[in-house]
Amino acid sequence: GDSVTQMEGPVTLSEEAFLTINCTYTATGYPSLFWYVQYPGEGLQLLLKATKADDKGSNKGFEATYRKETTSFHLEKGSVQVSDSAVYFCALSGAGRRALTFGSGTRLQVQP
């Protein structure tokens, strides 16, 4: 079945540091790929998405590129802020399915 693997946290960075959170997936066909974020005390929110190979999703300074050849969708940000501290989830929806399959989440802590 479909699965998502993402790097374990917590990831602790200083403000303005470069962020990478790795995500790889296993799926048949061509899934859609997502990054969701959960800020402290809040619900899950869609951060960005990509629906086909080589697409780049971007939002709030975050980017991720759908790499079919490496089955990856790594999340990057050039300069993190304290307000980016949250749990980040990589997810996919398999071809023909509407349900999301999530990774286990990566907690990011940004220190001033």
Would you say 94 or 110 has its CB closer to another protein?
Answer: 94
Q: Which residues make beta-bridge pairs with 89?
A: 36
Among 29, 42, 69, 70, binds another protein (CB under 8 A): 42
- Residues 61 and 79: their CA atoms lie apart, in Å, by 8
- Residues 27 and 45: their CA atoms lie apart, in Å, by 23
Q: What is the size of the binding site for another protein (CB under 8 A)?
A: 19
Among 84, 103, 108, 110, binds another protein (CB under 8 A): 103
Sorted by sequence, the CB contacts under 8 Å of residue 37 that are 6+ apart come out as 44, 45, 47, 86, 87, 88, 89
Q: Does position 28 bind another protein by CB under 8 A?
A: no
Coil vs helix vs strand at 24: strand
User: Pattern 50-89, binding to another protein, x per CB under 8 A?
Assistant: ---------------------------------------x
Site residues for another protein per CB under 8 A? 4, 36, 42-46, 49, 89, 91, 97-105
